[in-house]
Amino acid sequence: MPVIRSGNPRLTLAVLATVVASFSMLQSLVSPALPVIQHDLHTTPSTVTWVFTALLLSVSVATPLLGRIGDMVGKERTLFIALAALVVGCLIAALAPNVGVLIAARVFQGVGGAVFPLSFGIIRDEFPAERVPSVVGVVSAIIAAGGGLGIVLAGPIVEWLGWRWLFWIPMIVVALSTAMVRRYVPESPNREPGRIDWLAAAFLSGWLVALLLPLSAGRSWGWGSFRTIGLFALAVVLFAGWITVELRSRNPLIDMRMMRRPAIWTTNLVALLFGAAMFAVYAFVPQFMQIPKAAGFGFGSSVTQAGLLMLPMLVTMALTGSLSGPLAPHFSAKAQVVWGSGLILVAALLFAEFHDQPWQVAVSTALFGVGLGLAYASMTSLIVQNVPREQTGAATGMNANIRTIGGSIGTALASSIITGHLQPSGLPAESGFTDTFLLLAAFAAAAVVLALAIPNHRRTRAIPAAAEPVPEKLVA
């Protein structure tokens, strides 16, 4: 029987919001500053990209693993460990004397990716069931907006303080948050007994690294190179091995039977497409704005100016994400995902056709923010609502991982398209950006179709605590 808690839900939410915002910003904060870091640490463009890739690979491994550990041993305790690793990673990065140490620090920081599934698990444990969709919506909106806010803040921080403050500032915030987690976030009342299947964890880590590594570095290696093709083939083999091990395991890291539920696999596929669109927009819209006017397009913006032009997207994303939960009784989570996907489709088509003036880009990105905020929060809510309470961490961790994989795919494809359309001067051609946003429109159209396939659900009866852990009856 769950232990009665005395935690303050408002304080818990404030702490969790601070934690997820800090890590979400840290994911994108460094990307605009890579050229500055490259110059300061005297390294090459291909090497400095590992400052971003190392975090991506570490997050992909740590997120589902620590999400599962949190479900077993306690979410608050696991969250504290993840945040402590994040503080250490930020400290090492801020003091890094060379790019090798900086890359190692980013691996430490990646452990902090577990804050997403652990936070959603704590929300489900600590808040009344009727409030969970609203709170999940708020936190999801903060995660989505935090990634964009990192891009906005990167320019001013680098220009006024230097790139090392991209790590000092998050370190200070996360250190304070870690102390607040220990003081104000109650320990988990719901846990799932068992042990970690380390063979499954090894297979999961293996196929994620084998997939994400060539997606991140394939452009510099060559998409047809032996190394790229070999790693993709290895990823397929390890993925098949992971599925086999998980299905046979008594203590699966990710319950494949749970992942086969229609509401779960359709939502996860939509998350994959949303990740591709979101990360591509974060990476390449600021780049578009910084293209010199001499190229025949672009605005010649500075890093700071390009970030400020992303503000309309952040505002609309935060507003619609926060409203997602309150709208749920009247506008179902499935409907929000469908409409959010449709709005992103329209936004991508608008950008592809109209991008001659800054206000046109601002309108497109603002509309993109509406769609992203609406659907991002709803997708997380759908996962939380359709898995057993004791598997919330693992399920939301895998959903976050799938978005990360989608982001790698989206940025890799967009980068290949843009670098494949160069002017004689070496500057990107306008057609590269146009084709990229047409590709994102295709992703959004596919997301609309998949979102329509998500089953409707309704709560039909209370499920006794000892019953089979299926919290809701799904109605196709």
For 8, the token pair is: 């303050």
Phi, psi of 164 (to 5 degrees): -65, -25
Please name the residues in contact with 279: beta carbons below 8 A apart, sequence gap of 6 or more: 406, 407, 408, 410, 411
Residue 432 DSSP SS3: helix
Report the pLDDT value the prediction gives residue 46, as an integer from 0 to 100. Answer: 67
CB 154 within 8 Å of CB 304 = no
What number is the average pLDDT over the span 269-296?
85
259 occurs within a structural domain: yes
| Pairwise CA distance, residues 405 & 420, whole Å | 22
> Are both 306 and 433 inside the same structural domain?
yes
Alpha helix (H) residue ranges in 111-249: 115-126, 132-160, 165-184, 198-221, 226-248
pLDDT band at 66 (very low <50, low <70, confident <90, very high): confident
How many domains is the chain built from?
Answer: 2
**Tens of pLDDT, residues 289-333:** 888 888 888 888 887 888 888 888 888 888 887 787 777 778 888
269 occurs within a structural domain: yes
2 occurs within a structural domain: no
| Pairwise CA distance, residues 257 & 391, whole Å | 12
Secondary structure string (H, E, C) spanning 316-359: HHHHHHHHHHHHCCCCCHHHHHHHHHHHHHHHHHHHHHCCCCHH
Percent of the chain at pLDDT above 90?
27
| Among the ranges given (69-78, 138-147, 165-174, 358-367), the one the predictor scored with the smallest mean pLDDT | 138-147
Residue 474 DSSP SS3: strand
For 44, the token pair is: 């090459």
Torsion angle defined by CA atoms of residues 398, 400, 403 and 407, in that order, rounded to the nearest 10 degrees: -120
Q: What are all long-range contacts of 287-294, with beta carbons under 8 Å and residues at least 24 apart?
A: 287/418, 287/428, 288/355, 288/361, 288/433, 289/358, 289/361, 291/427, 291/428, 292/427, 294/427
pLDDT band at 228 (very low <50, low <70, confident <90, very high): very high
> Are both 350 and 470 inside the same structural domain?
yes
Report the pLDDT value the prediction gives residue 84, as an integer from 0 to 100. Answer: 92
> Are both 264 and 339 inside the same structural domain?
yes
> Are both 427 and 313 inside the same structural domain?
yes
Report the pLDDT value the prediction gives residue 448, as an integer from 0 to 100. Answer: 94
| Residue 227 structural domain | 197-250
CB 373 within 8 Å of CB 321 = yes
Calculate the average pLDDT of the chain.
Answer: 83
Burial tier of 111 (Cβ tally within 10 Å: 0-12, 13-18, 19+): buried
Output the CA–CA distances (angstroms, integers) from residue 294 to 75, 160, 254, 354, in the order listed.
Answer: 53, 28, 52, 19
Q: Which of 219, 250, 281 is the last residue of a domain?
A: 250
301 occurs within a structural domain: yes
Burial tier of 75 (Cβ tally within 10 Å: 0-12, 13-18, 19+): buried
467 occurs within a structural domain: yes
Residues in the chain: 476
Select from 147, 79, 88, 150 the least CA-distant residue to 116.
79
CB 368 within 8 Å of CB 313 = yes
Phi, psi of 255 (to 5 degrees): -70, 105
DSSP 251: S
Residue 420 DSSP SS3: coil
DSSP β-bridge partners for residue 473 = 458
4 occurs within a structural domain: no
> Are both 208 and 311 inside the same structural domain?
no
Report the pLDDT value the prediction gives residue 474, as an integer from 0 to 100. Answer: 32
Give the DSSP per-residue string, 98-139: SHHHHHHHHHHHHGGGGHHHHHHHHHHHHS-TTTHHHHHHHH
Instruction: Return the CATH number at 439.
Output: 1.20.1250.20
DSSP 33: G
For 274, the token pair is: 């949303």
> Are both 397 and 304 inside the same structural domain?
yes
| Pairwise CA distance, residues 382 & 405, whole Å | 19
| Pairwise CA distance, residues 264 & 450, whole Å | 11
> Are both 59 and 138 inside the same structural domain?
yes
Q: Answer yes or no: pTM beyond 0.95.
A: no
> Are both 453 and 318 inside the same structural domain?
yes
Select from 252, 277, 463 the least CA-distant residue to 352.
277
Q: Which of 250, 269, 292 is the last residue of a domain?
A: 250
Compute the half-sphere exposure of residue 12: CA atoms within 13 Å on the CB side of its CA: 24
Cα angle 111, 114, 117; round to 5: 170
Select from 447, 401, 410 the least CA-distant residue to 57.
401
> Are both 275 and 243 inside the same structural domain?
no
| Pairwise CA distance, residues 129 & 184, whole Å | 21
Report the pLDDT value the prediction gives residue 168, as an integer from 0 to 100. Answer: 95
> Are both 132 and 230 inside the same structural domain?
no
Report the pLDDT value the prediction gives residue 193, as an integer from 0 to 100. Answer: 65
> Are both 201 and 189 inside the same structural domain?
no
For 420, the token pair is: 């494949």
Report the pLDDT value the prediction gives residue 467, as an integer from 0 to 100. Answer: 37
> Are both 303 and 440 inside the same structural domain?
yes
Percent of the chain at pLDDT above 70?
92
Q: Which of 232, 250, 268 is the last residue of a domain?
A: 250
1 occurs within a structural domain: no
Select from 475, 461, 278, 283 the least CA-distant residue to 379.
278
